[in-house]
Amino acid sequence: TAPLSAIRLNVNDHMWRLEVDPRTSLLDALREHLRLSGTKKGCDHGQCGACTVLVNGRRVNSCLSLAVMHEDDEIVTIEGLGDPDHLHPVQRAFVEKDGFQCGYCTPGQICSAVGMLAEVEAGWPSHATADVASPHIALTDAEIRERMSGNICRCAAYPNIVAAIRGTAEGGTA
Ligand code: FES
Ligand code: FES
């Protein structure tokens, strides 16, 4: 085995110190070392989005990234977005719109939606809008589906996931 690396990770506004095998993914560091099991492991290969967290406000597949690369970053997981008494607007929208069934993909969906709404706010084009020369991006259902296409739901709860995200966007609270 490789010698352990001592690293600091800023997760959910808390500085953690841990020793990890340098090959440890950010996902495994969160789940196995910090016991933050809200972030899920689906494929472990960058294909499902279950492991999505926010790194410096941007959505990242934590299974594809090494923990040792993130010492200077601000990481937010589903546990850091809100709690049952203080839900994040996107969390509340998923509850209100029934945006889940088994719930396994939900933490990743919600973190991804938070990052996606920030991308829209910043005017980032998607594949669907790349040829549209407009600073205002209409967040249609098709646009939401395109932008959330990295997050797979095996229960196919997509209609309600889209409704939750659209509701958040229209409420302007994200
Ligand atoms: Fe990371 Fe599937 S577990 S993308
Ligand atoms: Fe079951 Fe999405 S709610 S995988």
DSSP readout, 68-97? GGGTT-EEE-HHHH-BTTB--HHHHHHHHT
Q: Are strands 5-11 and 52-55 parallel, antiparallel or unpaired?
A: unpaired
Domains 5-81 and 89-171 share a fold: no
* Interval between CA 136 and ligand 1 midpoint (Å): 31
Return the structure tokens found at 64. Answer: 């594809």
5-81 folds as Ubiquitin-like (UB roll) (3.10.20)
- pLDDT category of residue 136 using cuts at 50, 70 and 90: low
Name the H helices within 84-171.
89-96, 106-121, 141-147, 158-171
Cβ 47 under 6 angstroms from ligand 1? yes
Cβ 100 under 6 angstroms from ligand 2? yes
* Interval between CA 156 and ligand 2 midpoint (Å): 7
Predicted model pTM: 0.93
pLDDT at 137 over 80: no
Interhelix angle 158-171/106-121, nearest 10 degrees: 40
Q: Which of 39, 40, 48, 66 to mutate to test the pocket of ligand 1 (most atoms within 8 A of CB)?
A: 48
Q: Cα(118)–Cα(113) distance, rounded to whole angstroms?
A: 9
- Determine the pLDDT at residue 130: 56
Query: Which residue matches tokens 């995200």?
Result: 165
Return the structure tokens found at 70. Answer: 């993130």
pLDDT in tens, 19-59: 999 999 999 999 999 999 999 999 999 999 999 999 999 99
Domain 89-171 superfamily per CATH: [2Fe-2S]-binding domain (1.10.150.120)
Cβ 61 under 6 angstroms from ligand 1? yes
Judge contact between 53 and 110, C-beta under 8 A.
Answer: no
Q: Of all helices (H) and strands (E), which one includes residue 27?
A: helix 26-28
Cβ 159 under 6 angstroms from ligand 2? no
pLDDT in tens, 144-156: 999 999 999 999 9
* Interval between CA 50 and ligand 2 midpoint (Å): 9
* Interval between CA 152 and ligand 1 midpoint (Å): 9
- Determine the pLDDT at residue 125: 85
* Interval between CA 42 and ligand 1 midpoint (Å): 5
pLDDT at 135 over 60: no
Q: What ipTM was reported for this prediction?
A: 0.99
Sorted by where each begins, the domain ranges of the chain are 5-81, 89-171
Q: Cα(22)–Cα(171) distance, rounded to whole angstroms?
A: 43
- Determine the pLDDT at residue 174: 43
pLDDT in tens, 55-114: 999 999 999 999 999 999 999 999 999 999 999 999 999 999 999 999 999 999 999 999
